[in-house]
Amino acid sequence: MNLIGWGDDMIRFSMLSDKGMRSNNEDSIGMYQKEESYCFILADGLGGHGKGEVASQLAVQAVTEDFVSENSDMDFLDRSFLDAQEAVMDGQNNDRRASDMKTTLVVLHIGETFCRWGHIGDSRLYYFLNSRLVKRTLDHSVPQMLVQIGEIKEKQIRKHPDRNRLLRVLGAETDELNYQLSEVVEKEGRQAFLICSDGFWELIEERKMEKTLKASTGPEEWLSLMKNIVLKNGRNTDMDNYSAIAVWTY
């Protein structure tokens, strides 16, 4: 499924979500615009009895409701992750079959003069400035931890046998929710953001993200070019759900 959106003169975006070779899609994506502010959301659910999709939908819905009903200030991201955690935990309590459902979450908040994002799990946000990759979120996973302590190299994450072992997610019992927020980034130049689930980023390397970004005239073309690479690299495999949101600021 492809969802193409345009935004206005200052923001353009494109979104997609597909079940891959799986029987159902446990990824959820969303966006909302309120005056000069935008909110982009992606969640990748996991859990038995097909409840992963419920967890991801609950998280996206909670963030969207916060964005719509609250002031879109610097505290929005903190509130949204806490409320998404509460929504998933309530979902577990209300349905015994959903007691083990969990989800990753990435939220990008673009205000009138700033950009900021947060994440938990191994869904990622990549930030590009003038078509060059500046930074990406660090996964809350076993392979990412092994990279940080020097046991494996960054490029080994994609093929690591423990790549699906997550250390932090929404829906886990915890005294303190350990999501991560970025610093505030001022709007400047030609900024681009890619938000994606592991089913997407595992099948495309960062240099290909940059190359296709430089060759694109807009986020819809960029996402289409990247999708072609993901499908090519995933051919003849048991492709996971894959979802992505491409956002450009002007």
Q: What is the pTM of this model?
A: 0.94
Q: How many CB atoms lie within 10 A of CB 248?
A: 21
At 10 the pLDDT is: 83
Cβ atoms of residues 194 and 245 within 8 Å: yes
Q: How far apart are CA 250 and CA 168, in angstroms?
A: 34
* Averaged pLDDT, groups of 10, the chain, 250 residues long: 56 96 96 93 86 97 92 82 98 92 97 95 98 97 95 93 94 94 92 98 98 97 98 96 96
Geometric angle at alpha carbon 53, from 42 and 167, rounded to 5°: 65
Phi/psi of residue 166, nearest 5 degrees: -100, 145
Query: Any bridge partners for residue 29, and if so which?
Result: 42
Residues 13 and 39: beta-carbon distance below 8 Å: no
The C-alpha atoms of residue 80 and residue 147 are separated, in whole angstroms, by 29
List phi, psi (to 5°) of 199: -65, -20
Q: Is 118 left (phi over 0), alpha (psi -120 to 50) or beta?
A: beta
